[in-house]
């Protein structure tokens, strides 16, 4: 009879989950024993980097990903980055090794105490099988739970001696299971949405990450052009669902109540698709909407729909619904919008660039289908001003507030898309949270171009000190970090640049090569 381990690998194989991201400990060794040759184990040096790499890979590939962490300690190390996976709807099947089953409850060394509760409420579902024979079925349930709408991370703790046990004969049925979900919205639902959009005098669209995840960007463009609708991206975007070069693009909505109220005040019907209503961050209270503004909320996430404080919600597949709306909405005769004007750059200083210079230079040099992974929080405005995001799947960023996603996620995105080049634009504060992923990039020769914007401070926090009027507070500066030396220590070639011409030359060299490169771009904070 096959072992629990063998049938689990076959189950993962049937689901196409043959790339495993992990950082193992003693509790995981029996799972890794006789590791199949058709599987690829991507080692990360820290569990936070492991989860972020897997997250990037899952988002870019659109497939569920298996993650292998070490007991409670390793799980805890990965949970900071896991906060992003929740809101990006990343289908991660995270596993961790539990101590020997006979010792559960004694809290021996490396026990995963109350394992099923450890990752809640971050994970969509979590479990520890009640007996060895139930491990394969639990893993099967985890895969389906991770991928069913709305996708998200799940967690399974497995006692490590279970892997060697014989699998029950009935586990063979698991690999043959198939789950089909509804892929088309109802006629009644689409008729309501079409009536609202066709009857709108001044419609607008607010698009979220699920539009890009379902590769419905083209339908969003088609719908916006038919309506002549202004288009915003939902606050704090983790993906880019609409070309930011399009004349109808109005930018990223601010993450506070009153600013969104003001931005949408001139519109009578606003369709929010593939995003929550809304994920606020900064506190600027007021009425949610201006009088006469109606919000229609399209989502396939029951949690988003249930917790929204306003709007008429439609629980339906985002991509399929946008396609039907784009095909059936009455096209209007609206004047063409003027092309987006070029933005002026901020002034560079001696031995330090304005962030505008960095992003504008990257946009000038990078290939047209470049993929950006951005975690430079304080320079978000400069990023959106100067980059050109045209192709689907061209932008990934943290979906929550935890740092450490960007640098390792770029490695995962590049592994999923070897045919495209990935540029990771990372703040110096953020970089330190995921820096160990440079080792994985070097070890596997993953050709990410890492651009570290080094201004020696936590710029986002400095802006908050102004907004909250806290004055100078401790812990805001991180000076004198030499990222070139750090990169070289991990095996990645690096260079430091302080001006536009140096940056251009460094980028040309990076894109001409096929190995990872780190460029430390010296900037300043305004």
Q: Give the residue numbers annotated as catalytic, written as ranges.
A: 25-26, 28, 47, 70, 281, 401
Cβ neighbours around 25 below 10 Å, total: 18
CA 215 to CA 372: how far, in whole Å? 16
Quote the strand ranges of 180-242, DSSP E. 203-207, 230-233
Instruction: List CB contacts of 19: < 8 A, sequence separation 6 or more.
Output: 39, 40, 42, 57, 65, 66, 415
CA 214 to CA 233: how far, in whole Å? 16
Nearest to residue 377, comparing CAs of 410, 357, 353, 399?
399
- Residue 509: strand, helix, or coil: helix
Q: How buried is 45 (Cβ within 10 angstroms: 0-12 exposed, 13-18 middle, 19+ buried)?
A: middle
Nearest to residue 29, comparing CAs of 82, 78, 71, 73?
71
**Degrees to nearest 5, angle at CA 134 with 133 and 140:** 130
In 15-134, which residue ranges form alpha helices assigned H by DSSP?
29-32, 47-61, 71-87, 115-118
Residue by residue, DSSP assigns 114-173 as THHHHTTTTSSEEE--SSGGGHHHHHHHHHHHHHSSSP--EEEEEEGGGGGSBPPGGGGG
CA 45 to CA 56: how far, in whole Å? 16
Starting at the edge strand found earlier in the chain, the sheet holding 19-22 runs 40-43, 19-22, 65-69, 92-98, 154-159, 125-127
Nearest to residue 151, comparing CAs of 208, 94, 210, 95?
210
CA 408 to CA 506: how far, in whole Å? 21
Q: Name the pairing type of β-strands 269-273 and 203-207.
A: parallel
Instruction: List CB contacts of 120: < 8 A, sequence separation 6 or more.
Output: 126
How distant, in Å, are the alpha carbons of 219, 278, 316 from that of 392? 11, 23, 21
Segment 380-386 long-range contacts (CB within 8 Å, at least 24 positions apart): 380/252, 382/346, 382/354, 382/355, 382/356, 382/358, 383/355, 383/359, 383/425, 384/244, 384/251, 384/252, 385/343, 385/356, 385/359, 386/343, 386/345, 386/356, 386/359, 386/360
């Amino acid at each position: 009879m096959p072992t629990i381990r063998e049938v689990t690998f076959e189950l993962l194989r049937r689901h196409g989950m043959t790339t495993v991201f992990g950082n193992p400990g003693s509790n995981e060794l029996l799972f890794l024993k006789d590791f199949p040759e058709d599987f690829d184990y991507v080692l990360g040096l820290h569990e936070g980097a492991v989860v972020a790499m897997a997250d990037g890979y899952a988002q870019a590939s659109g497939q569920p990903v298996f993650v292998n962490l070490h007991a409670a300690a390793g799980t805890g190390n990965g949970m900071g980055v896991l906060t992003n996976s929740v809101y990006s709807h990343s289908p991660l099947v995270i596993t961790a090794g539990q101590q020997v089953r006979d010792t559960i409850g004694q809290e021996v060394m490396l026990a995963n105490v109350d394992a099923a509760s450890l990752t809640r409420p971050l994970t969509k579902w979590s479990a520890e099988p009640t007996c060895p024979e139930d491990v394969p079925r639990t893993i099967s349930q985890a895969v389906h739970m991770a991928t069913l709408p709305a996708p998200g991370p799940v967690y399974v703790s497995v006692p490590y001696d279970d892997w060697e046990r014989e699998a029950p004969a009935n586990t063979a049925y698991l690999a043959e299971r198939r789950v089909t979900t509804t892929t088309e919205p109802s006629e009644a639902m689409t008729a309501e949405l079409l009536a609202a959009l066709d009857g709108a005098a001044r419609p607008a669209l607010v698009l979220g990450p699920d539009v890009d995840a379902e590769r419905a960007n083209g339908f969003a463009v088609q719908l916006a052009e038919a309506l002549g609708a202004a288009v915003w991206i939902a606050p704090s975007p983790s993906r880019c669902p609409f070309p930011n070069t399009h004349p109808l693009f109005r930018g990223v909505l601010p993450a506070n109540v009153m600013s969104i109220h003001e931005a949408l005040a001139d519109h009578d019907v606003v369709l929010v698709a593939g995003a929550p209503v809304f994920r606020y961050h900064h506190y600027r209270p007021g009425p949610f909407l201006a009088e006469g503004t109606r919000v229609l909320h399209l989502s396939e996430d029951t949690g988003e729909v249930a917790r929204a404080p306003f709007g008429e919600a439609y629980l339906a597949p985002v991509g399929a619904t946008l396609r039907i709306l784009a095909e059936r909405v009455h096209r209007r005769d609206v004047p063409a919008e003027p092309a987006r004007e070029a933005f002026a750059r901020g002034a560079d200083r001696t031995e330090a660039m304005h962030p505008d210079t960095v992003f504008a230079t990257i946009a000038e040099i990078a290939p047209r289908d470049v993929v950006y992974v951005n975690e430079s929080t304080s320079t978000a405005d400069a990023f959106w001003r100067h980059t050109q995001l045209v192709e689907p799947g061209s932008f990934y960023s943290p979906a929550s507030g935890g740092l450490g996603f960007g640098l390792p996620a770029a490695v995962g995105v590049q592994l999923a898309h070897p045919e495209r080049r990935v540029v990771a634009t990372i703040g110096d504060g953020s970089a330190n949270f995921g820096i160990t992923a440079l080792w994985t990039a070097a070890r596997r020769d993953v050709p990410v171009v890492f651009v570290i914007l080094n201004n020696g401070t936590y710029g986002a926090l400095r802006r908050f000190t102004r907004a909250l009027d806290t004055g100078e507070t401790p812990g805001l500066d991180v000076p004198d970090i030499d990222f070139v030396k750090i990169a070289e220590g991990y095996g990645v070639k690096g260079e430091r640049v302080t001006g536009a011409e140096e940056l251009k030359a460094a980028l040309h060299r990076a894109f001409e090569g096929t190995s990872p490169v780190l460029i430390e771009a010296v900037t300043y904070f305004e």
